Structure 1
Amino acid sequence: MNIGIFTDTYFPQISGVAASIATLDKELTALGHNVYIFTSTDEAANKANEVGKVFRLPSFKSMFVPERRLAYSGVRTASQLVRKLQIDVVHTHTEFSMGCLGKYLAKKHKLPFIHTYHTMYEDYVHYVARGKLLTPYMVGKLTKWFCRGADLVIAPTEKVKKTLKRYGVVAQISVVPTGISLKQFKRTNQTTQKTNALREKLGFTVNDRIIVSIGRMAEEKNMQALVHAVKQSQAIKKPFQLVLVGDGPERKKLETLTHSLGVTDFVHFVGAVDWKQIQYYYQLSKVFVSASTTEAQGLTYIEAMASGCAVVAKADPSIESIVQHEETGFVFEKDEDLADVLQSIWANPDLLARIQENGNRHVKPLSAETFGRKLERVYFVQLRNQQYSERYERKQSSLFYRMRRSS
């Protein structure tokens, strides 16, 4: 099967969407399929490694999120590629430029159109004229419009599915959690050695109480709450060492905040990290923390659990199935509660060890392999529909072969 993935966000950009697509690409390729990425240009991309695999269309920086790019031309080129590569399924991962292109090409070439809704845009309207130009109501209307005509919409969680239903999306919606490479994040003797070297490089000792947070430094991620928690921890003379991995528009404000609070020696800005090396940053600590309530699924929480961390997260419906208080992780309700929660965790090493083990076990079903097989089955089911029956007949024998091999 030849799968065309359309996305505005792809490596070397660092995001959950890019990581999700890379995981899907790897697993589908392992199952014998051909995956082609249609995305926007990026000066940092390694073009030599992308030849014949990744097709980048001319783009410009987004006005509201400068690190993201929007394609502005290349429709004819993309259409020719879809025909030349004999694409069987179009799978979009954005509602913007490349998503609209994928939707158009699916209709033009009479291909199954599948869309994954990754982002809860209601939580991001402040980027557009501070929420005065684009409202949550308008987000719902635009989402409903984009999903119209989709053969299937994939939601990573029940929270996202309920949101799409509230918007009035009438297409079939299936919940398929994004999987992760459990092997990549597993703590081993080899990863421990590399993590110890990283700890030494960053100037930490084995006695430092390190907490790690990984993600885009943006207003909706609420990272200032973590910095304030570090300040509160100084009151009992047992401060945390906070490691912030990532970059974004709020970084300068966060750095200014650390100076004003007098915690520059305890807050460490690592910057963006290659996704292939990210596991060593998770494994710097026994504790991963996030104060965000805007996650569609919370991939960083899953990666942290797979890395052997206990996750401390702010209460939010999107993570209820992942982080259960004092069962698979720790949950706090208010920002001002975070420091006390962290102190209590470090004061109870037996509970911490139990939560680390429970969390690690809890995410085992969310493997990348399971994710890949589920999407493969989704594609074949859509090809089986009457309007795509001719393509399905050509691929049917391959499906039976896969099912026999996996049984």
Structure 2
Amino acid sequence: MKIALFTDTYHPQINGVATSIMILEKYLVKRGHEVYIFTSSDSHADLLQESGKVYRFRSLGAVFVPERRLAIAGLLRASHLMEELGIELIHTHTEFSMGLMGKLLAKKYHLPCIHTYHTMYKDYLHYIAKGKLIPPSMVGTFSRLFCKRTFAVIAPTEKVKNQLENYNVNEQIRTIPTGIDFAAFKRRFDQTERIQQIKKQLGLLASDRVLLSVGRIAAEKNMQALILAMPDLLKQHPKTKLVMVGDGPAKKELVQLTKQNGLSAHVLFVGAVKWCDIPLYYHMADLFVSASTSETQGLTYIEAMASGLPVVAKNDPSIQDLVIHHKTGFLFQKDEDLSHRLIQTLLHPESLPVIKQQAKRHINNLSAEHFADQIERLYEEAIHVYSTDHHTLRSLNKKERLS
């Protein structure tokens, strides 16, 4: 199959959507398919390395998600590429400019269009006039209109599927969780020296207990809860450090919050790191911690589990089948409960090996291979249906002309 993936975020950007697309592309190519990425421009992209595989379109920064970019031109060029590359199916991963472009081209060339609904936009309304301009109901209308006339909509979790159903999306919805490349997160002996180098650079001692946060630093991720939990935690475990990997619009505010609470020696902001180095941070930590309730799937939770890192997370429908309290991880209900949950978890390290083993077994069905297999079957089904419908339509048109 010849497949075009339309997205407004892609490598070298680091986020859940970009990671999902990279995994999908890699495993479809391994199966012999031709996969092309249609995405927005990025000044950090390696255009030489991407040549012939990734097609970028001139873009501007998005208001609602500052790190994302919206394409402002290129429909004619993309149309020519559809013909030149012989594209058979379009898979959109955004509801904005590149997604709209993908849908227009699918209609023009009578191609099946699959859409993955990655983002819970109601959690991002604060970026537009501080949430006072666009009501949540408008998100539902917008989502429903975009999903219209797609062959299928992919929801990464049941939480997303339920939300789409609440938006009255009538197209068929398939729940297909994004898979993880488990091999990338398996600890190797040759990583030991590099892990020690990172710990040294961060000033971490062998006696320190390391909490890890990985992801976009933004208001909807509720990362201030992690910082505000530290004072109580430090009373019981004074040698604890919180390492925050990632960047984003809330970083400056969180750095200031850290200083105001006298936590600069205990909360370390690493910034964005290369995707290939992310596993090293999982391997150097003692616990992965998150207070977010805006996840569509929680890929970082799965990465942590695959790395053998216990997860402490805020309870949310998006992870109800993933993080099971005292079985595959630890949950807390309210932000103010986080410090107590961390204190108790660190007080009982003897329980962690069993949690790690159970978590790894629990995520076996979230492999990248399984993910690619489900997507591949959906693609084949869509192409078969569209080719059959197109053949029927041509036959009917021919009969009408003859009559």
User: TM-score, structure 2 length as denominator?
Assistant: 0.95
Q: Secondary structure at the match of 1:225?
A: helix
- In structure 2, the CA distance between the partners of 1:361 and 1:299, relative to structure 1 (3 Å rule), is same
Distance 1:14 1:311 in 2: 20
8 Å CA contact 2:151–2:172 kept in 1: the answer is yes
Cα distance change on mapping 1:280 and 1:156 into 2, 3 Å: same
Aligned length: 391
Long gaps (5+) in structure 2: 392-403
Q: Describe the shift of the 1:330–1:237 C-alpha distance in structure 2 as closer, same or farther (beyond 3 A).
A: closer
Shift of 1:101: 0.4
Cα 1:388–1:280, aligned 2, differ >3 Å: closer, same or farther?
farther
The residue aligned with 2:351 is 351
- Where do 1:254-293 residues align within 5 Å? 254-293=254-293
- Which deviates the most, 171-180 or 352-361? 352-361
> Does the CA contact (< 8 Å) of 1:383 and 1:389 recur in 2?
no
1:114 is matched with 114
Alpha-carbon offset, residue 192 of structure 1: 3.4
- Residue number in structure 2 paired with 1:401: none
Where does structure 1 lack aligned partners over 5 or more consecutive residues? 392-407
SS of equivalent to 1:375 = helix
Question: 1:132: which partner in 2?
Answer: 132
Q: After the TM superposition, which residues 286-365 of structure 1 pair with which residues of structure 2 at under 5 Å, given as runs?
A: 286-365=286-365
Structure 1 residue runs of 4+, over 4 Å off?
A: 386-391
CA distance in 2, matches of 1:123, 1:281: 27
Within 2, Cα distance between the matches of 1:154 and 1:131?
A: 27
Q: Distance in 1 between matches of 2:131 and 2:114?
A: 29
- Name 1:5's counterpart in structure 2: 5
Which structure 2 residues correspond to residues 7-406 of structure 1 after superposition, within 5 A? Answer: 7-236=7-236, 238-388=238-388
CA deviation vs aligned residue, 1:7-34 (integer Å, no higher than 9, x gap): 0011111110000000000000000001
User: How far off its partner does 1:201 sit?
Assistant: 2.4
Identity %: 51
- Alpha-carbon separation, structure 2, partners of 1:237 and 1:379: 51
More displaced 10-residue stretch of structure 1: 305-314 or 232-241: 232-241
Q: CA deviation at 1:235?
A: 2.5
- After superposition, the Cα gap between the structure-2 partners of 1:386 and 1:100, relative to the gap in structure 1 and judged at 3 Å, is closer
1:228-261 C-alpha deviation (Å, 9 max, x unpaired): 1112222235242000000001000000001000
- Structure 1: how far apart are the matches of 2:377 and 2:277? 31
- Shifted more, 224-233 versus 14-23: the winner is 224-233
Over aligned residue pairs, what C-alpha RMSD do you find? 1.3
What TM-score, normalized by structure 1, do the two folds share?
0.94
Question: Per-residue CA shift, 1:155-202, capped at 9, x if unaligned?
Answer: 000110010011010000000000010000012222334322322222
Q: State which drifts further: 357-366 or 321-330.
A: 357-366
**Kept after mapping to 2: 8 A contact 1:111/1:388:** no
Amino acid at match of 2:147: C
CA–CA separation in structure 2 for the residues paired with 1:71 and 1:332 = 40
